[in-house]
Structure 1
Amino acid sequence: MTTEATKPEVPETEVPAAKSPRALAWTRRRHSVARFWREYRTHRAGLFGLAALVVIALVAVFAPLLVGSDAQSVTDAPGKPMESPSGEFPLGTDQFGRDLLGLLVWGARISLTVGLLAAVLSVAIGTIVGITAGHFKGWYSTVIMRVTDWFLVMPTLVLAIALASVMSKSIWTIILAIGVTTWPTTARLVRAQTLAVESRPYIERAQALGGGHGHVMGRHVLPNVMPLVLAQTTLVISNAILTEATLAFLGLGDPTVVSWGGLLQDAREAGAVSAGNWWYLAPPGLAIAVVALAFTLCGRAVESVLNPRLGVSR
């Protein structure tokens, strides 16, 4: 009786499981975000703007904890009208005796909210118009771009004032007025990028394989114009905040809420300019300037990272 020689067992090599398409997509996104952040950190001005925005956003979010919910109350004002800065009131008081520091903190909420939402609305309209105008040729593109040109030559602030004047005074009116009057620049930029993307060979191959208009615009054009849209959004936010402050200063804002532009309007009505009460005028004006500058610095840094050929100084 013969016995078979036992063969040594060869350990099976473990083959790594293939990642799903969704996992691969998320991995690529994480790598892209990490690469973007590495490039962004090299821009000192962009980091300064980002740090300023983070601090201001945290102050706005935690306003009830920092200054209390009654800081806007006229009936429970803790000080005397138009007091100069002191230890109790670092920025003085307004004409009702309210602490201007508390009002400045609460005003950050409205100004940032209006600026962000108005910029998102403006960029969304501009992106849709720009992509469709670049994709569909012929009469549609001609008509939509002539409308865009008309909005471009008209003063944006005048259109926003006219729209805000005929509607009820509210935050949503200001957001709508800014959003529907500031989209043409984004539409022009996105249309030019769409034309450049659709001239590439893979777009023609996608159409030859049966890809429809929605597939081409949603799967090929939109991802390629998103970096431009992101950079444009950060730049539009600063303009939206300035426009909101201007409309509030002209008395077209919501009188029931506190914003930085509204504080300037209250200071003008209270005679702070003629009385020399600089503490009533300077803080909201500086806050508007700092936020607008911070968003501009972030936008320039993002634009430089996404398009290094611009050569923006760091």
Structure 2
Amino acid sequence: MTTTPTPPTKTAPAAPPGQAGKNAPTARSLAWARRRHSVARFWSAYRGHRAGLFGLAALALIALTALAAPLLVGSDVQSVTNAPGTALEKPSGEFPLGTDQFGRSLLGLLVWGARISLTVGLLAAALSVAIGTLVGIIAGHYGGWLSTVLMRITDWFLVMPTLVLAIVLATVMSRNVWTVIIAIGVASWPTTARLVRAQTIAVESRPYIERAKALGGGHGHIMNRHVLPNVMPLVLAQTTLGISSAILTEATLAFLGLGDPTVVSWGGMLQDAREAGAVSSGHWWYLAPPGIAIALVALAFTLCGRAIESVLNPKLGVAR
């Protein structure tokens, strides 16, 4: 019996040197893949919190309205000389929320005021959290006399009422939006500093920190590459919760006459209503809209902050 010879198998040519690793994933692509996976996992857990979704939807709607304010109401809504109505008109078809003492549409002022209130709240909370995070990480990492000094300063700010300190700073500085932002940020950072310091101490007690130090990692490397990423979830949750407090503080400062008189904000609208005698005259349409807007935004940020805190730390057991 004759056998037919088997044809030789063709093997693919070997890849030239340097080509084999081209299709291999790089460190940057792996890092981005892990981040995308973390974001997807976070969003999957966040969707389980109905209150957090309600707060997020409300914030998205308010933010879009504030961004589109020049298109919705026009930039001349703040003008006193070109007011389209008469003073203190009741709600009607032309003016759904009525008018103020100058005849300006309260609906237009409410939409335009959202820009200032949200901007002040976001920037003031970011400044507060940035100061608190920096102080907390330095105090928790270095310890010793530096931690003692920083914590005593933190305790001094902590026992000082935030509103009183913000009023003092807003009084001695010039009256503008940046003064309000700085006053709120400088007055409200101690709580974040104490939380971040405690978290930093907990992180630095883990074994991989000792290994990083043994391999020659310096203070900057330890704080930036190991401590900061581990405290960022806490910082994120604290920022979300701090925005609502910042918005309320800004409204209080504006109501007390310490805000920027050249811009329209929700707190400034309440101050104008008080000066126009809306409380004693029963002009409820002048008082209710900005007050409800402040309460709604503060509630929405609080709901989002609680949901984020629950996702990042499931042991808290926040109700869904």
Q: Which runs of 4+ in 1 moved over 4 A?
A: 11-16
Deviation at 1:9?
1.1
Amino acid at match of 1:245: A
Q: 1:293 aligns with which of 294, 299, 302?
A: 299
Report the Cα distance in structure 1 between the residues aligned to 2:13 and 2:90, rounded to whole angstroms. 81
Question: Residue 298 of structure 2: SS of its match in structure 1?
Answer: helix
Deviation at 1:138?
0.9
Amino acid at match of 2:24: A
Deviation at 1:10?
3.8
1:211-226 equivalences in 2 (<5 Å): 211-226=217-232
Q: 1:69 aligns with which of 61, 68, 75?
A: 75
Say whether 1:44 aligns with 2:50: yes
Report the Cα distance in structure 2 between the residues aligned to 1:13 and 1:230, rounded to whole angstroms. 50
Report the Cα distance in structure 2 between the residues aligned to 1:208 and 1:39, rounded to whole angstroms. 37
Say whether 1:178 aligns with 2:179: no
Question: Residue 71 of structure 1: SS of its match in structure 2?
Answer: helix
Say whether 1:204 aligns with 2:204: no
2:312 aligns to what?
Answer: 306
Change in 2 beyond 3 A, CA 1:283/1:12: farther
Q: Comparing 171-180 with 16-25, which one deviates more in the overlay?
A: 16-25
Residue-by-residue CA offset, 1:186-211 (whole Å, 9 max, x unaligned) = 00000000000000011011111111
1:102-141 equivalences in 2 (<5 Å): 102-141=108-147
Say whether 1:79 aligns with 2:80: no
Question: Residue 292 of structure 2: SS of its match in structure 1?
Answer: helix
1:245-256 equivalences in 2 (<5 Å): 245-256=251-262
Q: How many residues align?
A: 311
2:276 aligns to what?
Answer: 270
Amino acid at match of 1:123: V
Deviation at 1:130?
0.3
Deviation at 1:84?
0.6
RMSD over aligned CA atoms reads: 1.5
Deviation at 1:12?
7.3
2:194 aligns to what?
Answer: 188
1:7 aligns to what?
Answer: 8
1:159 aligns to what?
Answer: 165
Deviation at 1:116?
0.1
Residue-by-residue CA offset, 1:93-133 (whole Å, 9 max, x unaligned) = 00000000000000000000000000000000000000000
Report the Cα distance in structure 2 between the residues aligned to 1:137 and 1:165, rounded to whole angstroms. 36
Report the Cα distance in structure 2 between the residues aligned to 1:70 and 1:5, rounded to whole angstroms. 88
Q: What residue ranges of structure 1 are gaps of 5+ in the alignment?
A: none
Q: What residue ranges of structure 2 are gaps of 5+ in the alignment?
A: none
TM-score for the superposition, normalised by structure 2: 0.95
Change in 2 beyond 3 A, CA 1:72/1:308: same
Report the Cα distance in structure 1 between the residues aligned to 2:300 and 2:66, rounded to whole angstroms. 16
Report the Cα distance in structure 2 between the residues aligned to 1:284 and 1:68, rounded to whole angstroms. 19
1:279 aligns to what?
Answer: 285
Report the Cα distance in structure 1 between the residues aligned to 2:101 and 2:181, rounded to whole angstroms. 28
Report the Cα distance in structure 1 between the residues aligned to 2:9 and 2:189, rounded to whole angstroms. 73
Deviation at 1:66?
0.7
Amino acid at match of 1:203: I
Amino acid at match of 1:24: L
Deviation at 1:6?
4.8
Amino acid at match of 2:247: I
Residue-by-residue CA offset, 1:271-300 (whole Å, 9 max, x unaligned) = 000000000000000000000000000000
1:241 aligns to what?
Answer: 247
Report the Cα distance in structure 2 between the residues aligned to 1:190 and 1:233, rounded to whole angstroms. 12
Q: Comparing 15-24 with 120-129, which one deviates more in the overlay?
A: 15-24
1:28 aligns to what?
Answer: 34
Residue-by-residue CA offset, 1:202-254 (whole Å, 9 max, x unaligned) = 10111111111000000000000000000000000000000000000000000
Q: 1:228 aligns with which of 231, 234, 258?
A: 234
Report the Cα distance in structure 2 between the residues aligned to 1:245 and 1:33, rounded to whole angstroms. 34
Report the Cα distance in structure 1 between the residues aligned to 2:81 and 2:278, rounded to whole angstroms. 21
Q: 1:92 aligns with which of 91, 98, 105?
A: 98
TM-score for the superposition, normalised by structure 1: 0.97
Report the Cα distance in structure 1 between the residues aligned to 2:277 and 2:14, rounded to whole angstroms. 83
